[in-house]
Structure 1
């Protein structure tokens, strides 16, 4: 595949001259810290070490993130609305206000994550959202609920795009899917665990004079606070400064990333132009459509699955417990798809099939008037919503740490803001079949399918133009008949790569 060509092959085409491999390396990619000998490094063993240090703790953090965010759906079944005296519409508004600070702060958060250390920025977010989750358990009225939901959105903002950006700073593009899938599968575990946990903690009803749903928030929030404190030591920083690696291992990790067209792996100084590169890139805007088709359904599914099952005739506890197999299935499919995405590539085709499965699931939900059939359809929905490939696909096609961070944050942030819409579509007056809610989610999935197809077509077209030399830059002293000043004029290929990132003529997009 073109995307897997070595850098030397890309360099040969870009320069159209006959130079030896050593000269290509020195002209194209300055070997990171050439004085360090990494020949003794066992790559497979080192990757296992990175996996153990990076992925499991991040998975725990996202599990808590999703658990704390969605607990309000479980609490609703146990009397939250009646106890604090709010209407169904007020409950929906409380869900809605979460998304505005949550989405709007994400781009700035990713910039801060790069400028500061992940061990500091991520840990602070975890600690403070744990505090806010705990405060959910003491709210007395509608104003209090609105307040804690706004602050939960603010403190959780940046966690998901930050983790995706952080993981993309450690692995090659062909390795991202499996790791992101493993970490994201914790969302399905959170969904399953949330139902079990809520059913168990509800038995504390009356202890300390508090309702059972309050204890759900208090205990989950206090645990999150403890994890936030531990994260100051458990969250590792970027490869160039990670403490769990030896100096030689850090050099090896950065070199292998640079060989995968991630020249910025050793770090880059912040420049405003990197932000503008993201804003002007069509990939950012099409990716926003993909995330819209994913996040809108995701929030609707996670916030309302217990309610949907409850209204199909199941009791509150049974509805929470019936959600467990649905999430467990979603977890399994997410891990399998992540593995396949890295092994066979063709992320676009996988994405189109997954979105297509979601379309079938929600068509059934719209048409069904049978509880058993609707329950089967939510398994199809889970098969589509959670495994959908987007993070590895988008992150792998953006070069430059700041550009990648902003592109991911904008796409994820726009996707998340749609949660403000889908948190209002399952209205009590539409129960038990919720045709409007299911119909809107169906439309969201259709948008995701269309944008995935567009992303694939445009990436493939751009790769073809680069193969034909239409994007070749003018490199001083190099005779290249395809070189065009409109693509930029540079002293060396290295200078072109640094300045243009994934827009460099030798960069090939993964499909």
Structure 2
């Protein structure tokens, strides 16, 4: 796919993508097979990033499984202490996401991401041997600090390897690691629950111990196998590098320095704040159910092992829907309707959970859990792709992705207090919080679309071109 030699204006960018004009930009070499190049990129970029975040998210939420075992009793987690322990993780996680992206750009992704996951694994090993509430709080803080660069950094990196119509499938592939973690965590916890007393350790300690070791091993592998930015990839020929840069239209060098004026320019954009709040509203149900799905399911009357096993199907259903959404989103080249679909599923699921209770409605309640999980996880992947692909270059994406994901992940702070012991077993307060947040998120998605559509219309008219009806419709 070539671009004009003298002028390239991205006329098919999604609303709000801020088309730019580049002088004397390189064309894609004609001797590069694009399909073969995409397959090569997929093999080098996606598997390692998927594995990194699979173990990272698994380690982040495995405490939800531990809380259904003897951990609360062993560490004296009375009242809201467990919720506070979940909350502490997000303080460094949110504050350091933008700085982390800037550091990753400077140090290269393979070095920074591998270092983050090794540090995460080491802290996780420490969490396996905590003796009290204070030790748990300290471990959760350092876990947040170690993981702050992994999620925004990975999305930031992926956005430079694929053009817009290829992006959603790859974003979802990476995002699905979160869903796999939710499903696999339940299966793994059900097996580890039987290890209680092995070598004198409680079963919940074995969760942190085994998964911490796995994280360290993945981090070591990531140093050798994690991809860097296209211009830095040793496994690409010069022609292939030029082809990637040309088709993604990311001409800014990875070494370009982020300045104070770049920060100020980014933060003057209203769309950035709307995008961050929109992501915040989807993160709340995602984390609420990642952390508390086992607790909610246990309230339906299951024992420890059955609870872990029954936490798997909602995440499996979410994975299936996310894959379907990714396929049709890229094929139709639209994002907005699929976000609305996710919001609708969440609202239906919450309505079921609020109105149906007791043994007679067990199947309906379980369906409600599935709907909420499916809607939240499928919409979350689309939101991240929609927002990041509307950003240009290293500077805008390093700042924008860190800010949007950082603010969005603050939703985890609200999520950890949605389901508290004093609200059990019906958890009506939590469901009403999620209902309100989801309705706000739906309104923000509409607002974001209107803002970027208006901006796109102005850009087209200023260039003397007609409105692109597809863009304005979707």
Q: With structure 2 as the length reference, what TM-score do the two structures score?
A: 0.91
Q: Please tell me whether residue 286 in structure 1 is matched to residue 274 in structure 2.
A: yes
Q: Please tell me whether residue 73 in structure 1 is matched to residue 61 in structure 2.
A: no
User: CA 1:265–1:329 in 2, change beyond 3 Å: closer, same or farther?
Assistant: farther
CA distance in 2, matches of 1:66, 1:372: 29
CA distance in 2, matches of 1:12, 1:357: 38
CA distance in 2, matches of 1:287, 1:323: 30
Indicate which of 60, 66, 86 corresponds to 1:95: 86
Deviates more, 1:124-133 or 1:422-431: 422-431
Q: Please tell me whether residue 353 in structure 1 is matched to residue 344 in structure 2.
A: no
Q: Please tell me whether residue 411 in structure 1 is matched to residue 404 in structure 2.
A: yes
Q: Is the 8 A contact 2:7 2:24 kept in 1?
A: no
2:196 aligned residue? 205
Count, aligned residues: 455
Counterparts of residues 40-439 of structure 1 (less than 5 Å): 40-258=31-249, 262-264=250-252, 268-369=256-357, 370-388=361-379, 389-439=382-432
Superposed displacement of residue 28, structure 1: 3.8
Indicate which of 425, 440, 444 corresponds to 2:437: 444
CA distance in 2, matches of 1:180, 1:320: 28
Superposed displacement of residue 353, structure 1: 1.9
CA distance in 2, matches of 1:8, 1:454: 36
Q: Is the 8 A contact 2:279 2:384 kept in 1?
A: no
Q: Which has the larger radius of gyration?
A: 1
Superposed displacement of residue 117, structure 1: 0.3
Q: Is the 8 A contact 1:81 1:88 kept in 2?
A: no
**Alpha-carbon RMSD:** 2.3
User: CA 1:124–1:509 in 2, change beyond 3 Å: closer, same or farther?
Assistant: farther
Deviates more, 1:458-467 or 1:160-169: 458-467
CA distance in 1, matches of 2:144, 2:453: 37
1:38 aligned residue? 29
CA distance in 2, matches of 1:48, 1:63: 22
Superposed displacement of residue 230, structure 1: 1.2
CA distance in 2, matches of 1:349, 1:327: 22
Q: With structure 1 as the length reference, what TM-score do the two structures score?
A: 0.85
CA distance in 1, matches of 2:362, 2:413: 27
CA distance in 1, matches of 2:33, 2:198: 55
CA distance in 2, matches of 1:317, 1:10: 62
Q: Please tell me whether residue 29 in structure 1 is matched to residue 23 in structure 2.
A: yes
Counterparts of residues 476-487 of structure 1 (less than 5 Å): none
Q: Is the 8 A contact 2:93 2:144 kept in 1?
A: yes
Q: For structure 1, which runs of at least 5 residues remain unmatched after alignment?
A: 15-26, 473-479, 483-507
